[in-house]
Amino acid sequence: MGSAICIPAINNARKVTLLGSPLDDHIVDAINNGLPHPNLNVQLPNDLTVLKNDQHTTDLLQSASVIIIGVSSAGIDWATQTIRAAQAQPELLSLVTKGLIRHATPSQSPLTYAHTLPEAIQIDASKLVGIGGPCIARELALGYPTRVVFGAHETTAAKQLKDLFQTDTYRIQTTDQLVELEACAALKNFLCIGVSSALGAHPLNNSFAKNPVAGFFNQAVIELRILSEWIAQAGKQTPLPTSALQTPTAFDLAGMGDLHVTVGGGRNSRLGNYLGQGESLSDVLENQMLNVTVEGVDTGRQIHTAVQHACASGELPAAMLPLTLAILDCIHTGGKFKFEFASLPG
Amino acid sequence: MGSAICIPAINNARKVTLLGSPLDDHIVDAINNGLPHPNLNVQLPNDLTVLKNDQHTTDLLQSASVIIIGVSSAGIDWATQTIRAAQAQPELLSLVTKGLIRHATPSQSPLTYAHTLPEAIQIDASKLVGIGGPCIARELALGYPTRVVFGAHETTAAKQLKDLFQTDTYRIQTTDQLVELEACAALKNFLCIGVSSALGAHPLNNSFAKNPVAGFFNQAVIELRILSEWIAQAGKQTPLPTSALQTPTAFDLAGMGDLHVTVGGGRNSRLGNYLGQGESLSDVLENQMLNVTVEGVDTGRQIHTAVQHACASGELPAAMLPLTLAILDCIHTGGKFKFEFASLPG
C-alpha cells in the first residue's frame, strides 16, 4: 500500500520519493531495473523516485513536506524511529499502517497509532492524517476507481492531504473522527475473519451460500460500530448508552444486509452488470433480459416523480443522492447508465 | 420465496398449506408429483400441503390463522383480491412481496404495501407483518443459515410471527419500523442496479475489481437510509434534518465499505475461510498460512484483555458482541472457531 498510494500523488504531478524499509531492497532493485513491483505485479510510473533505506534517508525526511508511513504493522517501530532520528518535521504525517496497541494499564485499553505516533515521532498530533476505506493496493496501483477517507483531529489537516491526492479515480472523503477511523481500519481485518468463516462453512455449488455471509457481514458492521466508538472514547470509562446503539433500519439487515446479498446475484445485479459494460437499459431489457422482471426498475419508475419533486423542494438532499438520481435517469430515459465515479462524495 | 418461507414453519411443526396463483399450476403439479420445486430446484418436505388456486381457496383462507403473501409484485392485486373476496380475517397477515406504489397525488409520494394492503384487504393495519433482510429463496429452502427481520407497527405482532417461524438456522430480528423495512426491501433492488454496474464496468482477471464495487455499495447504503427514512415520514413534508444524516464512521467507508472489500479477498478472509471449514487457528497458522501475517489476529491479541475487562464491567455490551467474542476466543485458544449462527441477534 505504501507503493500504491504514490500513484494518485504522481498523477497529480507531485514529486514523490518511495523509500524502502531494510526488508525492501529487492523491491527497490526490481522497480529501478524497470520490472513490475514484485508484490503488486504492477509497473510503477517512471517519474517515481525509488530509494533504498540507506540512501539519503535523513536529508530526504527532513526536506519532505509530507511523510506517509506505508510499512506493515510489524515495521512501525522502524518507521517511527527513522523519522524521529532524522528530526523530520513535515507539514503533514500520514500512515496507511493499521493496527492496535495494548495500553500498558491493567485494563489494557486498545490504542490506535493516532494515540501513539505523535509522541513516538515527536510531532504535533494535529499534523497526523489517518487513511481508511475500501482500498486494495494492487487495484489502486492499476488505477481502478477507489474511495477512501482521510481523518485528522481537525478536518483541515485531512483536507490539506486530500488536495494533494484526490484524482478522478481516487476519491477522498474527510472526517475529524481520526481515532474511530484508525480503530475501524484495524478492526475490520479482525472482524473479517469471522465473516469469512461463512465462506468456508457454507459451500454451495462451486462457490458459497450468500445468506450466511450477508448475515455475518451485517453483524460485523454493528459490532465494528460499537468497538470503534468504545476505543474512541477510551479513558472516559463511561458505558456506551444503549440508546445510541440503536441501529438505523437501513444500516441493518433490511438495508445493508439485504443489499450485500443482492449485489452479485439475481436479476437487478445482472442488469447493473450489463449497464456497467456500457449497454443501454432498453437494449438489455429488449434482448438479454427480455421478459425478465427486474424489480429495481419497477421501483425506480414508481419513485421517479416523487424523488424529483422532493429534491426540487429541498425535502430530499439531492447532492447526497448521486447514485439514486443516476439510476432514476437511466430507467426514465432507457439509455445508458451515466455515472461518473468522481461524482460520489469525496 | 413464497414456497421457501414455508420451510422454517414446517420445521417448527406448523401446519402449512402452499396455495399457488393462477400462474403456478405447473409448480403445484411438479411438487405433488414428487419432483423438485421447478424454480428453486429443491425438493420440498412431504408434510407441506400444496394446492392449486382453484382448490378450496375460500375455506382455506377463512380458516388460516396466518396468511403470507408470496407472489411477485406483479401478482399483488390478484393476491389481495383473493383474500378480500374470501373475507379472511387471519390473526396475522404477512408478505414477502416487495415493491413501491405511486400515490395518486401530484408529488406521487411512494407508498409501501404497508400503506396499501390493510385497506385493500380490509384488515387491521396492526396485523400486518413485513419481512426483510438478506434471504435468497433457494438457500433458505436448502436450509442454509439465514437472518431476516420481521416488522410491524407494534413489535408485538412481529414477535408473534417470529415465534412461529424462528429456527436455529432461520434467525429473526424484529422491528417496529415497518414502513422503513418495506421501503428498504424494495429500494435495495433498485440501488443494487447501480452498485452492480461496477461489476461490469471494472473487470479484473476473470472477476471484477473490488474497490469500485465497495465504493458504490457504501454509497448505496447511505442513500438507502435517506430514501427509506423519507418514505417512512411521507405526508409529514418536513425536510430530513441534515444533522440526522451524519453517518457514523463504522457505517461509512472506513467501516462498512472497507469490510466489504476485505471479506472475500486477502489473508484475514483466507484464515476465516479455513476456520469455517472446521480447521483450528493454530493448525492453519502452522501449515497453510505459515509465516503469513494475518493482521486481524494481531488486532485480536491486542484487544483481548481490554474487551474482556470492558464486558465484565458493563462498559461494553457483551450480548451485542457475539462475533467479536467468538473470534477473540478462537485467537486466544488457537482452537476452532466456535460460533453458533443461532447466537446472532434474532
B319 touching A (Cβ < 8 Å): no
- Residue positions counted in chain A: 346
Average pLDDT over residues A165-181: 92
A292 touching B (Cβ < 8 Å): no
Per DSSP, B37 falls in state B
Question: With an 8 Å Cβ cutoff, are A258 and B147 in contact?
Answer: no
Residue A248 pLDDT: 81
* Bigger pLDDT: B260 vs A66: A66
Q: Nearest C-alpha of chain A: how many angstroms from B85?
A: 27
Residue B256 pLDDT: 81
**Cα distance between residue A56 and residue A59, in whole Å:** 6
Residue in chain B lying closest to A194 (CA)? B272
**Cα distance between residue A27 and residue A38, in whole Å:** 6
Residue A253 pLDDT: 80
Let me know if A79 is exposed, middle or buried by CB neighbors in 10 A (0-12, 13-18, 19+). Answer: buried
Residue B32: count other Cβ atoms within 10 Å of its Cβ: 12
Question: With an 8 Å Cβ cutoff, are A193 and B327 in contact?
Answer: yes
Residues 87-106 of B with CB under 8 A from A: 98-103, 106
The packing angle between helices B113-121 and B76-85, to 10°, is 30
Please write the tens of the pLDDT for every residue from B18-57.
999 999 999 999 999 999 999 999 999 999 999 999 887 8
Average pLDDT over residues A68-90: 94
Please write the tens of the pLDDT for every residue from A309-319.
888 988 888 88
The packing angle between helices A210-232 and A178-201, to 10°, is 160
User: For the ranges A103-112, A216-225, B161-170, which has the lowest average pLDDT?
Assistant: A103-112
Residue in chain B lying closest to A151 (CA)? B254
Query: What are the chain A neighbours of B204 within 8 Å (beta carbons)?
Result: 139, 142, 144
Selection from A196-200, B89-93, B304-308 with the highest mean pLDDT:
B89-93
**Cα distance between residue A176 and residue A100, in whole Å:** 19
Mean pLDDT of chain B: 90
Residue B237 pLDDT: 56
User: In a mutagenesis test of the B interface, which of A196, A228, A321 is the best target, namely the one with the most B β-carbons within 10 Å?
Assistant: A196
Bridge partners of B92, per DSSP, are B66
Residue A238 binned pLDDT confidence (cut-offs 50, 70, 90): low
B245 touching A (Cβ < 8 Å): yes
**pLDDT over 60 at B235, yes or no:** no
Average pLDDT over residues A47-71: 93
Question: With an 8 Å Cβ cutoff, are A324 and B300 in contact?
Answer: no
* Bigger pLDDT: A27 vs A249: A27
Find the DSSP H helices in chain B.
6-11, 25-32, 57-63, 76-85, 113-121, 137-141, 155-165, 178-201, 210-232, 258-262, 267-276, 281-286, 295-313, 322-333
- Residue positions counted in chain B: 346
Average pLDDT over residues A17-43: 95
**pLDDT over 90 at A299, yes or no:** no
Of A148, A86, A76, A83, the residue nearest A115 (C-alpha): A76
User: For the ranges A56-65, A158-167, A237-246, B187-196, which has the lowest average pLDDT?
Assistant: A237-246
Helix (H) or strand (E) holding A261: helix A258-262
Cβ atoms of B162 and B174 closer than 8 Å = yes
Of B134, B115, B122, the residue nearest B82 (C-alpha): B122
**Cα distance between residue B259 and residue A221, in whole Å:** 8
User: In a mutagenesis test of the A interface, which of B97, B196, B329 is the best target, namely the one with the most A β-carbons within 10 Å?
Assistant: B196
Question: With an 8 Å Cβ cutoff, are B134 and A218 in contact?
Answer: yes
Phi/psi for A5 (5° steps) reads: -75, -10
Bridge partners of B50, per DSSP, are B18
Please write the tens of the pLDDT for every residue from A86-125.
999 999 999 999 888 888 888 788 899 999 999 999 999 9
CA distances to B17, B177, B283 from B52, in Å: 10, 34, 54
Residue in chain B lying closest to A296 (CA)? B190
Residue A236 pLDDT: 62
Residue A188: count other Cβ atoms within 10 Å of its Cβ: 32
Residue A2 pLDDT: 94
**Cα distance between residue A225 and residue A188, in whole Å:** 10
Of B280, B296, B299, the residue nearest B288 (C-alpha): B280
